[in-house]
Amino acid sequence: MSIEFWCPLRLESVAARRGARTAGVVRTGMGPRRSAAFAAGGHRVARHRGAVVLGLGGALGGGPTPGDIIVADEVRGPGAPRPVRVREAAAIESLIRDAGPEVLRGPVVSVARPARGETRRTLSGTGALVADMESWWLLAADPAPLAVVRVVSDTPSAELASLSLPWRVRRALAVISRIAAALDSWETPVGPDIRRGLETTAPGGGS
């Protein structure tokens, strides 16, 4: 049995389906409200052993570039006192590296609105690598997703409102297809208790 990909946007879900052969692909909806509603809606990962949140994200600092892959080792919410550490991050990173694409592992922060300008710089100062608008709320699902993977589509020097955005999005979506192919037949070691893939940590580390 393989995993299921949770993709907030239609474009992301289409890209994931191009790479997935046996894994399921579910569109969860864009933004905090739809993500929270999906998590509370009782979706079951039937016939699958777990889910991976897979989609686009905005780089916060000058390191990641468009097309780079970020595997979340922890997910932070807006004003949340306790980040959620993702224990399967190392396994996911290894599988993606084996497939070829470059990947970074680090914190992902979920925000209520797109991170631009000063907001992006402020979030970068916290050590987070990329921002999204869904992962924190999707992690409240039961069973919770085992991992969060984001592909950079915009950066501080290449904001969302720029002429190069369509090219950058196409590039990132092609990478999503490669990730889906790499993770398609992943046999997770977690078993029936999906929640064991997550743990809450106090700010600054330590479980």
- The predicted-structure confidence for 43-82, as pLDDT tens digits, reads as follows 877 555 789 999 999 999 888 889 999 999 999 998 766 8
Counting other chains too, the contacts that 190-197 makes at CB distance below 8 Å and 24 or more residues apart are: 190/49, 190/50, 190/88, 190/146, 191/49, 194/45, 194/50, 194/51, 194/143, 194/144, 194/146, 195/142, 195/143, 195/144, 196/87, 197/50, 197/86, 197/87, 197/88, 197/144, 197/145, 197/146, 197/147
Residue 152: helix, strand or coil by DSSP? strand
pLDDT of residue 201: 60
Please list, in sequence order, all residues whose beta carbon lies within 8 angstroms of the beta carbon of residue 61, skipping any fewer than 6 positions away: 124, 129, 156
Cα distance between residue 104 and residue 91, in whole Å: 13
Residue 205 has pLDDT above 50, yes or no: no
- Reported as a single tens digit per residue, the pLDDT across 150-182 is 999 988 877 777 777 888 999 999 999 999 999
Average pLDDT estimate for 121-127: 90
pLDDT of residue 118: 81
204 pLDDT band (50/70/90 cuts)?
A: very low
Cα distance between residue 162 and residue 6, in whole Å: 27
pLDDT of residue 42: 80
For the record, the structure tokens of 198 come out as 């997550």
Cross-strand pairs, 150:
55, 70
Please list, in sequence order, all residues whose beta carbon lies within 8 angstroms of the beta carbon of residue 165, skipping any fewer than 6 positions away: 153, 154, 158
Q: Is 0.85 surpassed by the pTM of this model? A: yes
pLDDT of residue 200: 57
Is the distance from CB of 8 to CB of 28 less than 8 angstroms?
yes
Please list, in sequence order, all residues whose beta carbon lies within 8 angstroms of the beta carbon of residue 35, skipping any fewer than 6 positions away: 8, 28, 29, 133, 134, 135, 136, 137, 138
Cross-strand pairs, 72:
106
